[in-house]
Amino acid sequence: MEKDNISTFDEFELNISSNIKTFLEEISKWSFFLSIVGFVGIGLMVVVGLLFGTIMSMMRDVNAYDLGYTAGVGFFYVVIALIYFFPILYLYKFSRKMKSALHSKNNDDFESAFANLKSHYKFVGILAIIIISLYVLLFLIGIVGASAF
């Protein structure tokens, strides 16, 4: 028997109505705004992280243990800012590509916009899984630690 040549990914076209275009334009504006706010937040986190250890080390009453602690907190802020940078960058790229696609009716930019949105959500989803796993691990460690006493 001969099998039909049916592709698993059928090519199809979506009709984008004027309402959908309006929604997408609004989404691109809000995602641009949120990405700019995110970049500002990242910048502030880096500045606070770098200055935190420096300012705390200038205080006269700080001992060596506290210096290590403040340096650790500063380093933590910079690491969190670095992790936060990538989903914000994907969101920014989505907003710019979507705006470009809608104004120039460019399917490549349209596809790239959604690829960036997918990457944004994938990164945030994986990060959520990691954070939930850490919470569960810390909870289990807390239970084991509490039962040891």
Model confidence pLDDT, tens digit, residues 118-132: 999 999 999 999 999
Contact 24, 98 (CB under 8 A): yes
Give the C-alpha separation, 27 to 119, whole Å: 16
Domain boundaries, the chain: 18-143
| Pick from 70, 68, 35, 64: nearest CA to 52 | 70
CB count in 10 Å sphere of residue 28: 21
Model confidence pLDDT, tens digit, residues 49-101: 888 767 766 765 656 556 566 677 888 889 999 999 999 999 999 999 999 99
Percent of the chain at pLDDT above 70? 81
